Amino acid sequence: MATEKLYLESIEAGYHQNFDATVTAVEGQKVTLDRTLFYPLGGGQHWDTGVLQGPNGEVSVTEVRGRQAVEHTVDENHQLESGDEVRGTIDWGPRYAHMRMHTAQHLVSGLVYELFDGARTVGNQIHADRSRIDFNPIAFDEAMLMTMTEAVNQRIDEHLLVTDSIMTRDEINSVMPAERTNMDLLPSFVTDLRVVQIGNMVDMCPCAGTHVANLAELGHINILGKKSKGKGTQRVSYDLHLPETTRSPIQTVL
């Protein structure tokens, strides 16, 4: 049974912290729910952590994985059973950090493509404190990194909105080159895609991750370094300064 992924309902859904769900399966410390706000590892983004409040008390969620049925790894003595009603709460600090970092990754990837002859994003890893993006083909020098940083921070200062919508492959391909959206990396049987857009097509990319609603929430980007990964691929690491504008979690229970 597939788990309903509540964080995909809208950009705003990423700000929700609490939800109610029913346990559908239990295997050792892995608990599957019928619906969840917890983001599972995938797309370069790290999983969420938090707690589940069940009939026998509160248990910690330390790992979340799965594409269809989402498994939540919980305390060894959790006592949860199939059919139990639970209330989940996301650890807001890491979740919000991932939202900021992932949105920054989209912005950087889109601008690098535009600035440097269509250099593609071929990998990324999103963490709360620092993240990285792999680009190909490119060989950054310090001047190029400075140009990229200035372009990214200029867009952040414009406070562009981040939106999402459902589009078909043909719709996306009609407005964005397939190599920019990495369409070749998506399974061919997936026809309707959730697309995240920054501003007026500053970046447009199919993505199931969590994102902030406005670039003002990012703070300026800081490039930590670059590293060659061979065959024309370079890895750029970055973190984010604290922004002037932040958002608190939405406490309404989904």
- pTM of structure: 0.95
**What type of residue sits at position 137?**
P
204/80 same-domain check = no
| Sequence-distant contacts of 62-66: CB under 8 A, at least 24 apart | 64/36, 64/38, 64/39, 64/40, 65/40, 65/41, 66/3, 66/32, 66/40
26 in a structural domain = yes
Domain boundary among 90, 115, 141: 90
246 in a structural domain = no
Residue pair 253/87 in contact (Cβ under 8 Å)? The answer is: yes
Q: In which residue are the tokens 């939405």 written? A: 250
183 in a structural domain = yes
- Which pLDDT belongs to residue 133? 98
pLDDT in tens, 158-170: 999 999 999 998 8
106/80 same-domain check = no
- Which pLDDT belongs to residue 175? 86
Q: Would you write out the chain's pLDDT as a tens digit for each of its 254 residues?
A: 899 999 999 999 999 999 999 999 999 999 999 999 999 999 899 999 999 999 999 999 999 999 899 999 999 999 999 999 999 999 999 999 999 999 999 999 999 999 999 999 999 999 999 999 999 999 999 999 999 999 999 999 999 999 999 999 888 888 888 777 777 777 777 788 999 999 999 999 999 999 999 999 999 999 999 999 988 999 999 999 999 889 999 999 99
Total structural domains in the chain? Answer: 2
**C-alpha 80: how far from its chain's center?**
29
Q: Among residues 223, 89, 98, 226, which one has the least CA distance to residue 153?
A: 223
119/234 same-domain check = yes
47/73 same-domain check = yes
Residue 100: give its domain's CATH number. 3.30.980.10
Give the DSSP letter string of 160-173: -BEEEEEEEHHHHH
222/159 same-domain check = yes
Give residue 107's domain range: 95-240
106/184 same-domain check = yes
- Which pLDDT belongs to residue 54? 96
Residue 68: give its domain's CATH number. 2.40.30.130
79/166 same-domain check = no
- Which pLDDT belongs to residue 145? 97
For strands 131-136 and 120-126, give the pairing. Answer: antiparallel
Domain boundary among 68, 90, 112: 90
31/68 same-domain check = yes
218/125 same-domain check = yes
153/27 same-domain check = no
248 in a structural domain = no
pLDDT in tens, 67-99: 899 999 999 999 999 999 999 999 999 999 999
Bond from prior residue into 40 cis (ω within 30 degrees of 0): no
254 in a structural domain = no
